[in-house]
Amino acid sequence: MSNEHGQQQHPGQQSPMPGFAPPPQSGYPQTPPGGQPAYPAHQPYPGGPGSYGYGQQPAAKPGSVTGAAVLGFIQAGITLITTGILFSALFGTASVQDSSAAFGWILALAQLAGLVLLIFGAVRLLSGSSRTLYIVGAALELVICAYYLISFLAIPNGGMFAEQVADLKAAMAVIPIVFAIMPLIGLILALGSAAGNYVSATRGR
């Protein structure tokens, strides 16, 4: 049996009504070849990493900050030893009350203040809170070293042992210079742009 277009029509097969689409197939969706059902493609979650409302990642700690803090702790430990020796000498000569003893107490207290500033300053520098205490402590250590250097060089070397005194002065002058190396390097590192950017980034979180 043929339809109006001349196409062969099998028995039991009805042609759709003119002007209407064929009815949809009932049941489940067709299975593609291979027997695996066609599931819809997985859609990525919107936003991606960083869209969950968490704060910014902590700023990376530069090596200059760590190096300055380590130098500060070492310098504070060395200053603690020399300050203890100085306090012991001052307590041993407590009966002597003159200008040199008074200045010795001032120097001992300055050294004590320097080591405290270095310790707390190094801790705050590592945490990114501030670098002010560290800078002040390192600068104070340099001032103390400069005082010792000037005092040693100012020792008179006259008399019959002038040559020996001159050699002793030269050897003693090396001590404050060596002591000034670590606070000088630490001060340069703490004043650098890397340390400044780290403190600013940590405060801005």
Q: Would you place residue 35 in the very low, low, confident or very high pLDDT band (cuts 50, 70, 90)?
A: low
Per-residue pLDDT reduced to its tens digit, 65-88 = 999 999 999 999 999 999 999 999
Supply φ then ψ for residue 158, to 5 degrees. Answer: -80, 180
Residues of the chain above pLDDT 70, percent? 68
- What token pair was written down for 110? 């300055």
Per-residue pLDDT reduced to its tens digit, 78-125 = 999 999 999 998 887 766 667 777 888 999 999 999 999 999 999 999
* DSSP character at residue 52: S
Say if CB 68 and CB 122 are below 8 A apart: yes
Q: Would you state the pLDDT for residue 129?
A: 93
**Least confident piece of the model among 32-41, 121-130, 167-176:** 32-41
Please tell me whether residue 34 adopts helix, strand or coil conformation.
coil
Residues 156-182, mean pLDDT to the nearest whole number:
86
Closest CA relative to residue 118, chosen from 105, 104, 131, 108: 131
- What token pair was written down for 118? 């270095």
Q: Would you state the pLDDT for residue 51?
A: 42
Q: Would you state the pLDDT for residue 19?
A: 53
Where on the phi/psi map is residue 48: left (φ > 0), alpha (ψ -120 to 50), or beta? Answer: left
Instruction: Describe the crossing of helices 193-203 and 162-191 by its angle, rounded to 10 degrees.
Output: 40
- What token pair was written down for 191? 């004043």
Per-residue pLDDT reduced to its tens digit, 3-31 = 555 555 555 555 555 555 555 555 555 55
Say if CB 152 and CB 169 are below 8 A apart: yes
pTM of the model as a whole:
0.68
Q: Which residue has the tokens 């780290």?
A: 198
**Stronger pLDDT, 88 or 41, i.e. the higher one:** 88
Q: Would you place residue 48 in the very low, low, confident or very high pLDDT band (cuts 50, 70, 90)?
A: very low
Say if CB 140 and CB 113 are below 8 A apart: yes
Domain boundaries, the chain: 63-137+180-203
Say if CB 118 and CB 110 are below 8 A apart: no
Q: Would you place residue 37 in the very low, low, confident or very high pLDDT band (cuts 50, 70, 90)?
A: low
Q: Would you state the pLDDT for residue 38?
A: 52
Say how far apart CA 147 and CA 186 lie, in whole Å: 19
Q: Would you state the pLDDT for residue 53?
A: 45
Supply φ then ψ for residue 8, to 5 degrees. Answer: -70, 130
What DSSP string describes 135-194?
Answer: HHHHHHHHHHHHHHHHHHHTS---STTHHHHHHHHHHHHHHHHHHHHHHHHHHHHHHSHH
* DSSP character at residue 24: P
